[in-house]
Structure 1
Amino acid sequence: MFWKKDKSIRVELVTPITLVAQNPLVSPPDKTSPEKTSELKRSETNIDLAFKLINYAGLGLQAALVVYGYSLLVGYYNGFGIDTNEIALSTPSLLLYGYINLFSGALAAANYVPIIGPGILAFCFIAVAAAFVVLVVKNARVDTVIGLACWIGFLIFMAFFAPAMGVQQGIKMSKADVKGFTPQELSKGLDKQHSLTTDKGTKLIGTLILADGKSTFLLVDRTVYKVDSARGRVLRETLLSPKPDPIQSTKQESRKIESTEDVQ
């Protein structure tokens, strides 16, 4: 019989049985929560993109300052009847004019409101730095973005406004070296008068508008003199006068016409 002791039954397990002892203190990982998997991602910095953004930003800023400086000088010299084609304007001078006027104006505008103005100005730099960090650093945490944006924004602020502050400090130093004026008079600024002698011996005293290697433009009362810098010869005289009001001029012309008709 099959149940006798001499008989043996062989059983083969197709799938092995494994026993795992689980620690009850450790909770099993939740596979359904994507937030935990996203937190485990490491932040990656794209160095190539960072250098490209810095180069593009530098070129764009220089181009904007050159265009702004050129537009500023065109409007300024046009008010005195000076054409920009008759003067030599170099790229460094345009860049300098644009930088000084733009950032000096930004500092002056920020000083109008003691607390809010500088705060808004600093926030603009921090916002630009935050955008740079978000583009360059992938999977960055919020606190990391805020910290880097504050530091980078502060460095950009110092890099941009340090030369403008140097110009303001130089003006203060020049006022300190001037003798014979009271502090109240120096606070309002000094009126600078220049004089030059023409080839005919005539001495012209007025406000210097522009002086380059070729010509010197001097404003005397209401006349702008263009003088040759090498020979001292007066090349041109431009008389400045206010433009008449078109409405008043039309009224005067109509009155003249009516008076002539009455006489006839």
Structure 2
Amino acid sequence: MKKNIFIPLLFLTVVMTACSNGAKSETTASTTAAAETTTVATTTTEAPTTAETTTQAAVIEEESHAEDDIQFYRGKKENNVYTNSVFNIKFDAPANGYKMQSRDNIAQMRDIFIKQAGMSQEEADSSIYMDVYATSENGKGVSSVNVVIEKMGTPFENETELAKVVDKLQNQYKAAGMVNVSVESDKARFNGKETIALNATDTSGDYTVYRKQIYIKSGNFMAIITASSTSEEKAQKALDGFTSLN
């Protein structure tokens, strides 16, 4: 069974000197799993009653395609504007104060990831592609956005499944000797939709980097969108820079 390799992608934009080759992890899909929250509802009687409500967010889904070639799922870049018709997303870098990184820079980051994940070049070429990477236009700070396309072996679809992945991710970073790293599952808004998300912070030197990651699913492929900045609010604002094509 193919293993999901999205786990190190959360930190793909930084150098991970402590990451080990065991960074790959397999998620277990369970469509029947659900997260429940309990609320207390007031009534006309003296004793309150307990009502259970399910607030389960899910991954954003677009139309599935029969294509199994990762190249089919890639987007286009023109005049510093990124569009992807399969995942129905658009990011206008100049309009949001960002600039696109060159293909050479993206290729270098991808090579680092491949080595960190312990993947073969053949496996990487067929299953993962960094589609776009943009940084704040003035070149200062740590604000960035990136879109990675990945072929998922067992894609997660809801909060419960993502929470299991988060637990594994946190344990792996601790085992790799990384410190000042916090990862948690959460919800986020993306193009007006509620969806599952990963929130993470890591502190190095005098500043903390906040990362927010969301997922759009099309068949066995996912667009993994990561926004990083100096606050959670700024990371969310970067995600808000994405719009729909229709």
TM range (shorter): under 0.3
- Which of 1 and 2 has greater Rg? 1
Pick the structure with more helix per residue. 1
Pick the structure with more strand per residue. 2
Greater relative contact order (Cα < 8 A, sep 6+): 2
TM (norm. structure 1) is 0.21
TM (norm. structure 2) is 0.22
